[in-house]
Amino acid sequence: VTLRESGPASVKPTQTLTLTCTFSGFSLTTGGMSVSWIRQPPGKALEWLAHIDWDGDQYYTTSLKTRLTISRDTSKNQVVLTMANMDPVDTGTYYCARTKTDFYYHGMDVWGPGTTVTVSS
């Protein structure tokens, strides 16, 4: 199982960020599977942002719900996260992670290496 994030290294304030998570080794249509996005500002804590389930349901962190959109392309094994109206405080490393909720495991078990995004004019 592998995941890898891709997207722009920098965006300007007010722009929309689009990140892609390309994964292999599992199917997002398998029951109990989902992909989460998590971010980490420099020197700060991890923050869970969103996930999309095996049945296409989307869930978002309450504080950023109005700015986030998560979608999937099961034929390409990709999950896309868009974040609108970017601000310098959104600077950080963005990770995607396989998230399982099945009989044996509940949580984020495999992570991508992360992609760093800087928001600056």
Partner 1 sequence: QSALTQPASVSGSPGQSITISCTGTSRDIGGYEYVSWFQQHPDKGPKVIIYDVSNRPSGVSSRFSGSKSGNTASLTISGLQTEDEADYYCASFTSINTWVFGGGTKVAVL
Binding to partner 1 in span 28-47, by CB under 8 A:
36, 38, 45-47
Q: How far, CA to CA in Å, does 48 sit from each of 36, 75, 81, 91, 119?
A: 8, 25, 13, 15, 19
Q: Give the x/- contact pattern for partner 1 in 80-119, rule: CB under 8 A.
A: ---------------x---x-x---xxxxx-xxxx-----
Which residue lies nearer to partner 1 by CB, 57 or 75? 57
Q: Give the x/- contact pattern for partner 1 in 42-81, rule: CB under 8 A.
A: ---xxxx--x-----x-xxxx-------------------
How large is the C-alpha radius of gyration of the chain? Answer: 14
Least Å from the CB of residue 9 to partner 1: 17
**For residues 10 and 90, what is the distance between their CA atoms, to the nearest angstrom?**
11
Least Å from the CB of residue 75 to partner 1: 25
**For residues 56 and 59, what is the distance between their CA atoms, to the nearest angstrom?**
10
